[in-house]
A and B are shown apart, each in its own frame.
Chain A
Amino acid sequence: MRRSAFRRSRGDGPFRFASTGAGVVLLAIMAAIGLFLVVKALPALQANTSHFLTELTWQPNATKPIFGIGALAFGTVLSSLLALLIATPVAVGVALFISHYAPRRLASALGYVVDLLAAVPSVVYGLWGVAFLVPFMLGPSKFLNDYFGWIPLFSGESIVGKSMLTASLVLAIMILPIIAAISREVFLQAPKMQEEAALALGATRWEMIRTAVLPFGRPGVISAAMLGLGRAMGETIAVALIFPATFKISFQILGPYGNSIAANIANGFGEATEVGRGALIASGLVLFLITLLVNMAARFIIARRKEYARAAA
């Protein structure tokens, strides 16, 4: 007995220390990301001859560096919101299909098919976007411009395939699986008793979903959408290939405008000077902080409700 008690104290200490240490390392990495981005961004920000948060142009490699996040942040937010607008209704439909409509035996296999969308690498979506979607979108874009040109979003003179709309569409496809997966988990956890009670009272399937499933699932869907928003804002390579990389604020989503923080980092890194790299790091810091806020808000909503504990992963 004594021997085993002795051995416990000897082996347990280091192991406990190692596993606690690993957890702390994870926290340290998160802190270090913020810290080192700030450290490397500061010199470039000091060399900047304009205001970083409001300036639209991006010429950090010039002898008199002038750059700002304005146009990039605008493009990031607009493309992500458009993607969210396109993806969320479809994702909720997909989630309902798998949780309440598809035949039980097929449901998990069909869910796996949707998950496969998430397994396709970003660069493959980029290649697909450039080679297929960009030329393909020219027709629908012209149609939107011809018949709905009176809506400011669809107005404009030059209509191209490499547009904000095409980039948002690719983003929507890429964030659809995560929104669908979390919504599906949440819908599956809706109280069975309430669903059955609704059906017993004579509700149709839609009325049952509207009264028992959707109210229960709403916070889950909202946080899923926010996680999707975070993904969309950080998405890099696919949109770097599609965006026309302009530095202009324009709501004409069919025109040759659009860029994002992440896309600009990928496209601008190759020819960046030292100040240029610092400027890109500064823009990355802004992206990091925005996605951090969005993700923390989303996680907070999920964590607040114990019922969702399983869906959070």
Chain B
Amino acid sequence: MTVQTGIQPISATRRAKDRLVQVLVYLAFALAVIPLVSVLWLVVKNGIGRFDMEFFTHSMRNIGARDAGGGAYHAIIGTLEQVLLASLIAVPIGLLTAVYLVEYGEGGRLSRTISFFVDVMTGVPSVVSGLFVLAFWILVLGMPFSGFAGALALSILMMPVVVRATEEMLRLVPRELREASYALGVPKWRTIVKVVLPTALPGIVTGVMLAVARVAGETAPLLLTVFVTDSINNDPFNGPQMGLPLYVFNQTILPTDVAVARAWTGALTLILIVMLLNLVARLITWWRSPARRR
């Protein structure tokens, strides 16, 4: 006696199609991971050779393309100063813009315009921000090539990222917190400074660190604004500086093995810095996530 249920088995062709798509989707993911693994593997393999004390304590002064040795001390100093200065410019502007969009904008025309152009600004090519600083700061205002000019270019790339990250975090702050503060007679600006921003702080820090990680690896804007030097220049306001991404670029285009070896080690250092920033940023999110607090 056979039991006839209403459910027919799935036909072979439909099942085959389903299987095929599943295989393709898994394959797509594998395809995406291959270049990541390849890049990381080659950077570690080729970069570890020159990952020594000299690399981190010496500049490239008096070291030609054919000479072994030399280091990226001047480039690391430059990158740290440029990124710090860029953050000092971009974070206040980005933070305040996000506060405007969430707390004061109230969906008006100005806030919608700003919000739209923040999105568009994330798409400004990095080389264009470098050209802008070159045209405005160096050619029109007559300022010298300097680390600060590079920081200006980087800050333009940072701003929209900081705005978006902060905005998202501010919107997550519950209305009730604000209303409780108002009910106690606290003015709006003090509510924002003392209640809203501290509540959103871990998320904002994460966003800022991701923005820093993004610009720390930018080469094109630096190429046009800080110029290039082989010597140590600790003053970001005067004279050409170096940046770690720029250092990698400059050593890559040299035709000698020792230079390319330096480029790989520079790339390894750069990736370590960027990945570390990313990792710490994610850890802060994870550590402060509501799911874990409970």
Decide if B22 touches A26 in the complex (CB within 8 Å): no
Is B173 part of the binding interface, using a Cβ–Cβ cutoff of 8 Å? Answer: no
List 15 A-B residue pairs with CB atoms under 8 Å apart, sorted by A's residue number. Answer: A22-B92, A27-B114, A40-B134, A89-B28, A117-B36, A119-B274, A120-B274, A123-B219, A125-B39, A127-B267, A128-B43, A180-B32, A237-B249, A269-B224, A295-B122
Most buried by B among A32, A92, A231, A299: A299
Please measure, in the bound complex, the distance between the C-alpha atom of A15 and the C-alpha atom of B190, giving whole angstroms: 9
A245 CB to closest chain B CB, in angstroms?
12
A298 and B111 alpha carbons, distance in the complex (Å)? 19
Top 3 A-B residue pairs of the complex, sorted by shortest distance between their CB atoms:
A234-B125, A93-B28, A121-B217
A8 and B187 in contact (CB under 8 A), knowing A117-B35, A204-B18?
Answer: yes
B204 at the interface (CB under 8 A from A): no
Query: Out of B10, B32, B100, B219, which one reaches A176, CB within 8 Å?
Result: B32
Residues from 287 to 313 in A contacting B, C-beta threshold 8 Å: 287-288, 291-292, 294-296, 298-299, 303, 312-313
Contact A101 B120 (CB under 8 A): no
Question: Which residues of the partner chain B approach A114 to less than 8 Å between Cβ atoms?
Answer: 29, 32-33
Q: Mark A90-126, 1 if CB is under 8 A from B, else 0.
A: 1111101110011000000010111011011111111
Q: Hey, which chain A residues are within 8 Å of B213, CB to CB?
A: 119
Residue of B nearest to A38 (CB): B135
Minimum CB–CB distance from B214 to chain A (whole Å) comes to: 8
Number of interface residues of B (CB under 8 A): 100
Which among B36, B159, B249 is the interface contact of A120 at CB below 8 angstroms?
A: B36
- The answer to whether A93 and B27 have CB atoms under 8 Å apart is yes
Q: Say how far A214's CB is from chain B's closest CB, in angstroms.
A: 11
- For the complex with contacts A91-B28, A292-B123, 9 further pairs of A-B residues with Cβ separation under 8 Å are A11-B189, A205-B18, A241-B252, A262-B125, A262-B220, A265-B131, A284-B128, A287-B125, A288-B124
A237-258 residues with Cβ-Cβ distance < 8 A to B are 237, 241
Chain B 157-179 near chain A by CB (<8 Å), digits 1 or 0: 00110011100100000000000
Overall SS of chain A's interface:
helix
Partner of A4, one of B111, B131, B140, B185: B185
Decide yes or no whether A33 CB sits under 8 A from chain B. yes
Report whether B252 and A23 are in contact in the complex, using a CB–CB cutoff of 8 Å.
no
**Complex: A18 Cα to B187 Cα, angstroms:** 16
B38 pairs with A37, CB closer than 8 A: no
With a cutoff of 8 Å between Cβ atoms, the chain B residues found around residue A132 in the complex are 38, 42
B221 smallest CB distance to A (angstroms)? 9
Inside 8 A of B139's CB, which chain A residues have their CB? 40, 277
Q: Is the CB of B140 within 8 A of A39?
A: yes
Mark out the residues of chain B between 127 and 170 whose CB falls within 8 Å of any chain A CB in the assembled complex: 127-129, 131-132, 134-136, 139-140, 156, 159-160, 163-165, 168
CB atoms of A101 and B132 under 8 A apart: no
A151 interface residue, CB < 8 Å from B? no
Known: A32-B132, A37-B132. A124 touches B36 (CB 8 A): no
Kindly identify, within residues 200 to 247 of chain A, every residue whose CB is under 8 Å from any CB belonging to chain B.
202, 204-207, 209, 227, 230-231, 233-237, 241
Per-residue A-contact encoding for B203-223, CB less than 8 Å = 1, 0 else: 000000000010011111001
Q: Is the CB of A19 within 8 A of B99?
A: yes
Interface residues in B44-88 (C-beta closer than 8 Å to A): 46
Q: Is the CB of B18 within 8 A of A234?
A: no
Tell me if A122 and B119 are in contact (CB < 8 A). no
Q: Are A231 and B35 in contact (CB under 8 A)?
A: no
B96 within 8 A of A: yes
Residues of chain A within 8 A (CB-CB) of B28 are: 89-94, 96-97
Q: Does A36 contact B (CB under 8 A)?
A: yes
Say yes or no: A120-B39 contact (C-beta < 8 A), given A15-B189, A30-B121, A113-B33.
Answer: yes
